[in-house]
Amino acid sequence: MAKKGEYKKTATADSVRQRKYNSQPQQKKNRAARNQARKEAMRDGKVSKGDGKDVDHKHQLMEGGTNHKANRRVVSRGANRTRGGRLGGKR
């Protein structure tokens, strides 16, 4: 078993790259903001666990958007992930 900070011997180059990217402080901050947005939407009754919905940021966090309620909407998982990190679905 790999020790903390090490990778498995069988780790692919892609998994190593993703782990490095996801461990960056800014990515941790963005992930925490996305989790908080989902939690607030659940509290407001807009989404529930296992409903196939995502909480989408209209102006994305990675593009400088905020986590304010006015910047969030509930969309289907497919619609949100088709957008693929592109502002307004276009780039």
Mean pLDDT by 10 residues, the chain (91 residues): 76 90 91 92 93 90 87 91 62 42
pLDDT at 63: 84
pLDDT at 46: 93
pLDDT at 87: 47
pLDDT at 9: 82
pLDDT at 32: 93
The residues spanned by each domain of the chain are: 14-89
Q: Are 66 and 59 in contact (CB under 8 A)?
A: yes
pLDDT at 35: 92
**Measured CA distances, 24 to 20, 49, 51 (Å):** 7, 28, 30
